[in-house]
Amino acid sequence: MPLSRAISVLEFGRFVILSGCSPRYPSNSGCGTQPDPHGALAVALTALGFTGRFWETFGRYGGAEEPGYLVSLPREGAAEVNALMRLAREFGQECILHVADHRASFWYVNGPLCHPSDNGPQYLGPEGDGFSYLPCTLPPLGNDNYTRVDLNGKPLYFAFDVPAGAEC
């Protein structure tokens, strides 16, 4: 995917971040427990038709950085978000990070915060309204919750759950 396309996706603010590594809820399908779950997730994303619309990321959420993918979404992407939620569930992940209109929300697909009988994702954020994020060119100071995307050899960090008025 060309760098200009990646930047426009990030500026537009409609994407999902998910990982196949370190499953908290290993599924019966075996996804997420194979020797290379990150590679298997790339194969699954390609099989679902996301070719050319996902980029490798490295996220840090309270531990060591681990790989994942940022997947761009069209304006009306409900079917695609549902496909990504099913994929994350199969890979034993707790949630995906959904970003729309520059607001981020965790959408739970496994575990106690997930209620599949409700026929919809569960959101986590202030008043259920999501939380903000900052795109930064340097690692966020004092924030151990971020995702890094390397674009043409230059890192871009997304610091999540940042206070209003925070800077990189």
Order the strands of the 95-100 sheet from edge to edge. Answer: 122-124, 103-108, 95-100, 15-18, 66-72, 54-61, 145-151, 154-160, 133-136
Q: Please report the pLDDT score of residue 162 as a whole number.
A: 62
**Would you state the structure tokens that stand for residue 55, as one six-digit string?**
């980029």
Q: Please report the pLDDT score of residue 161 as a whole number.
A: 60
Q: How far apart are CA 46 and CA 149, in angstroms?
A: 19
Q: Please report the pLDDT score of residue 120 as a whole number.
A: 53
Residue numbers of the chain with a pLDDT score lower than 70: 1-13, 27-33, 75-77, 102, 115-135, 140-143, 160-168
Q: Please report the pLDDT score of residue 69 as a whole number.
A: 94
Q: Please report the pLDDT score of residue 42 as a whole number.
A: 95
Domain boundaries of the chain, sorted by first residue: 3-160
Q: Please report the pLDDT score of residue 115 as a whole number.
A: 65
Q: Please report the pLDDT score of residue 6 as a whole number.
A: 46
3-class state of residue 116 by DSSP: helix
The Cα diameter of the chain in Å comes to 44
Axis-axis angle for helices 78-90, 37-47 (nearest 10): 150
Among 129, 54, 48, which Cα is nearest to 82's? 48
Asked if 156 and 135 touch (Cβ cutoff 8 Å), the reply is: yes
3-class state of residue 96 by DSSP: strand
The amino acid occupying position 52 is G
Q: Please report the pLDDT score of residue 50 as a whole number.
A: 92
